[in-house]
């Protein structure tokens, strides 16, 4: 059983309060703060009295002990330390199928078909106001390697916004299932769609598209494995009413499914593979329709070698075929699980952005694939001196946000807030540009 599953979920007022554990504290009703290092809760007065909390005292990570709201700790622990119980995982995967937006399936002759599960229409219908006002949804797409923590980042964003008005342990909004760190097998399959709690009922709701992880190869995602088990069970069972309710639900989803043959991939062995859909088709589609693209990366040192060419390649392919695209998407690089030993200035968005872009400034002179794109733009009159100049040919802006490795929960919360702020600002800018 996971740490989170051992904690009961119940409404609380103000925060996840625990009595002060300071020696002889007479004010048990005071607001208390949790210290992960001490594994104790203290009020403000008793906090300062602890030897480990004195000014200039540092813990094992080189930082002072962090004052944390206990509910924030429990929420993030439930995300960063997911349950390893197989039965719980299976149940969660089946429930998460309701959030599937689109993907590639197989027809009766094993040919690729594009499947739309109706998730976008369902989200918009559920949040429609009685006034029937015109709404302009904003799409934010999350892309990244398998194991980079992409689904974890989406879940943290949803959790962070929901916590502002929902002071309980469990979120009211659907969120992705995080995978294990550096897991080489994708957790979820295809592209899932989630609502941002902060804007869901507004006229410009922000929707998060969570794309299946890159570099999973032909490995069958965990969610897809459960799906195949259910299909086999359905086909071998004559009385459908005897099936498990979650399995029967799959039959209902099938009734809402709209599928089309992917004619250009039939007969082409490479383009028919799952890997092609995940690494080429999904990112290009999402680039075309997104207001913001968030690329989640664990190691900033691989940005030049593994990410740059992809960002430009996807954008170039989509750009050439989308002449009517009213606005270029914004790109945000989310550097996940950043080491706490990094210079403190790097938690600032502008500093992080300048540092990363400076490190790849001359990449356009050394990477052949980028040189081809530079040559094309220069031929068409665009002035390009740096890698940033090239990226801005395809993206309205480039921003970098760092999210720390687990342990410093309030710092995680602060950085998630910064990421959400950047997403909302860029989404609003995109919406404004489309309306001009």
pLDDT of amino acid 245: 58
pLDDT digits 0-9 by tens, 18-58: 889 998 887 666 789 999 999 999 999 999 999 999 988 98
pLDDT of amino acid 339: 94
pLDDT tier at 267, thresholds 50, 70, 90: confident
Query: Is residue 225 pLDDT above 80, yes or no?
Result: no
359 or 58: whose pLDDT is higher?
359
Query: Is residue 162 pLDDT above 70, yes or no?
Result: yes
pLDDT of amino acid 171: 76
Kindly state the average pLDDT of the residues 188-215.
Answer: 93
Query: Is residue 90 pLDDT above 80, yes or no?
Result: no
Residue keyed to tokens 């009159």: 381
pLDDT of amino acid 327: 84
pLDDT digits 0-9 by tens, 290-306: 999 999 999 999 999 98
59 or 199: whose pLDDT is higher?
199
114, 188 contact by CB (below 8 A):
no
pLDDT digits 0-9 by tens, 152-161: 999 999 999 9
pLDDT of amino acid 223: 60
Query: What single DSSP character describes residue 144?
Result: E
pLDDT of amino acid 274: 86
How distant, in Å, are the alpha carbons of 198, 261, 398, 400 from that of 329?
21, 28, 10, 15
Query: What single DSSP character describes residue 5?
Result: G
Residue keyed to tokens 């009517």: 324
93, 178 contact by CB (below 8 A):
no
Kindly state the average pLDDT of the residues 58-87.
Answer: 86
Kindly state the average pLDDT of the residues 385-414.
Answer: 95
pLDDT of amino acid 402: 98
Kindly state the average pLDDT of the residues 332-361.
Answer: 97
Q: How many CB atoms lie within 10 A of CB 251?
A: 12
Query: Is residue 6 pLDDT above 90, yes or no?
Result: no
Residue keyed to tokens 């082409």: 268
pLDDT above 70 as % of the chain? 82
Q: What is the 3-state secondary structure (H, E, C) of 265-332?
A: HCCCCCCCCHHHHHHHHHHHHHHHHCCEEEEEECCHHHHHHHHHHHHHHHHHHHHHHCCCCCCCCEEE
Kindly state the average pLDDT of the residues 394-414.
Answer: 95
Pair of tokens at residue 331? 């790109």
- Pairing, β 40-43 against β 191-195: unpaired
- Report CA 387 to chain centroid distance, whole Å: 25
């Amino acid at each position: 059983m996971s740490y989170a599953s051992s904690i009961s979920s119940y409404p609380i007022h103000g925060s996840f309060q625990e009595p002060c554990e300071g020696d002889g504290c007479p004010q048990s009703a005071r607001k208390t703060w949790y210290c992960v290092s001490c594994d104790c809760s203290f009020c403000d007065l008793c906090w300062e009295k602890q030897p480990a909390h004195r000014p200039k005292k540092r813990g094992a990570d080189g930082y002072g002990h962090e004052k944390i709201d206990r509910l924030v700790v429990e929420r993030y622990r439930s995300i960063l330390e997911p349950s390893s119980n197989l039965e719980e995982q299976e149940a969660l995967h089946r429930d998460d199928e309701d959030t599937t937006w689109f993907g590639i399936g197989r027809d009766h002759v094993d040919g690729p078909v594009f499947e739309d599960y109706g998730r976008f229409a369902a989200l918009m219908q559920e949040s429609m106001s009685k006034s029937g006002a015109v709404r302009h949804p904003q799409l934010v797409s999350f892309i990244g390697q398998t194991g980079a923590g992409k689904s974890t980042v989406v879940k943290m964003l949803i959790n962070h916004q929901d916590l502002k008005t929902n002071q309980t342990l469990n979120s009211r909004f659907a969120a992705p299932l995080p995978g294990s760190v550096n897991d080489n097998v994708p957790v979820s399959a295809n592209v899932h769609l989630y609502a941002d709690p902060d804007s869901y009922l507004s006229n410009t709701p922000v929707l998060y598209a969570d794309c299946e992880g890159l570099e999973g190869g032909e490995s069958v995602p965990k969610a897809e494995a459960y799906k195949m088990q259910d299909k086999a069970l359905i086909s071998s069972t004559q009385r459908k009413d005897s099936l498990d309710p979650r399995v029967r639900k799959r039959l209902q989803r099938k009734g809402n499914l709209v599928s089309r043959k992917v004619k250009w991939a039939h007969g082409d062995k490479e383009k028919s593979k799952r890997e092609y859909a995940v690494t080429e088709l999904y990112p290009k589609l999402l680039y075309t329709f997104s207001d913001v693209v968030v690329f989640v990366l664990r190691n900033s040192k691989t940005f030049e070698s593994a990410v740059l060419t992809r960002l430009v390649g996807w954008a170039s392919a989509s750009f050439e075929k989308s002449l009517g695209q009213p606005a270029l998407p914004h790109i945000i690089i989310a550097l996940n699980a950043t080491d706490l030993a990094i210079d403190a200035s790097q938690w600032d968005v502008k500093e992080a952005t300048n540092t990363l872009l400076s490190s790849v400034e001359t990449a356009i002179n050394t990477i052949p694939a980028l040189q081809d794109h530079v040559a094309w733009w220069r031929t068409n009159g665009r002035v390009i001196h740096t890698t940033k100049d090239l990226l801005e040919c395809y993206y309205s802006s480039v921003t970098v946000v760092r999210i720390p490795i687990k342990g410093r929960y309030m710092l995680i919360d602060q950085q998630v807030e910064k990421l959400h702020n950047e997403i909302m600002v860029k989404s609003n800018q995109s919406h404004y540009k489309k309306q001009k």
